[in-house]
Structure 1
């Protein structure tokens, strides 16, 4: 029995992947996303230099153009920044930070917001009204300004950046989850579960959540790219990750003042990497939206 269920799950997974890859752009997005994730995971093996190790940095290597040779004997394929860090190495390690912040904050916001929205729809009445007014209040504040204020109070760190993004993004999941759950609350299976006096957590997690998960998965994919963009923006403005972390946004910021003097590579290559990362993730999310919510995609 278990073997049959496993085989069926494998067939469903293969069928889903085939339908996903029917779109050339979706295949490009999936391949690009996997390539970026693998590059971040194997950054220590792919990088010619560890940008965290101060012993490997030499101020004499600062702001060297692409193709220059370092004092240690290896070549800066994409140039170096003002601290003598290899731009290629900093980008690979910076991808780690971007993916950790993007995936971590999106996942936490997904859990918090989905739980809040499902509970609001399930409870109903005045409690639902109060809970959704909290969501409306959160959504009324500008995202970037709210995140800047939170980080100005908490200080710079990766954990604080994740916390700030979760606080400004959870309400989007809450509204989506609540809207999907309201349509399911009128279905017969929910009424049957209530008549059987099933525990509330059982109805929420085993009855409502599986039937509301499709739009939330699409939103999660989109919010990962949004979180990466937000982290880069915060780091560019000086309130994101610490200056010792080679974040993509921090690299763009550190080289921005030298662009007009011809030292373009410090900002250009991390900027291109950031744009490509967001682009391929959005391609994956757009394809998921077409597959899981075809009517919404047409609209």
Structure 2
């Protein structure tokens, strides 16, 4: 899951970023995309792309390739002047290609899913899902131990490498790998995101949506969201869950003015005390209209 996505999820739910990351990893491992990937690995592993690479090899009384004289002189000096020592550039078959690295990085992420130590994250999944994740992780680890895949680096892929992969002919053929990568980046769907939210947070989200709709009748609210200092902004509106870290106004704010729902909606929430004490109470459209009038905002805009 990308860092910006984790930030948005934390601002919306108030959950700890490490919990969000773990839940996203488990969710991706339990997804249909992960199942399609692990079922297709056998074919992909048997048709790995390969290149011819070279490496220096110390030879005694034999030549296995072009002599590297600079290295040979050094090697002979270390061998007390033995004239039978040569350092040769030998050729070998290498599986360290962009296509294979994309596959290995995806398998490594899947293999790591079952090692999530966050008990709170695991409790959000039923036993059947956890068993499925464990089985897929075990299969991924076994594939990573195969000699051909074992030597391929598993480091982070650069943007240039991913572009090269997408533009290659094999990139289109490895659609199951890319589908899983996209699923990882997405983190989780909206119905899965609810797992991170307590009932009061869901009610708070409803209040935010309703209030934003009332404000949108008077001024345009951008559909593009931005994340700044742990706070989600859309034009003059901002939101940060009271339980999330950040330096801005917790909860919903309009033009820097904190807005809060009716006193009973989230009063029992464990984070209710973190909401601004002097927030403007909004119980419906009439309260929004009154606030906008006080701020000098004109009537409903033309559509």
Structure with greater proportional helix content: 1
Q: TM-score, normalised by structure 2?
A: 0.26
Structure number with larger C-alpha Rg: 2
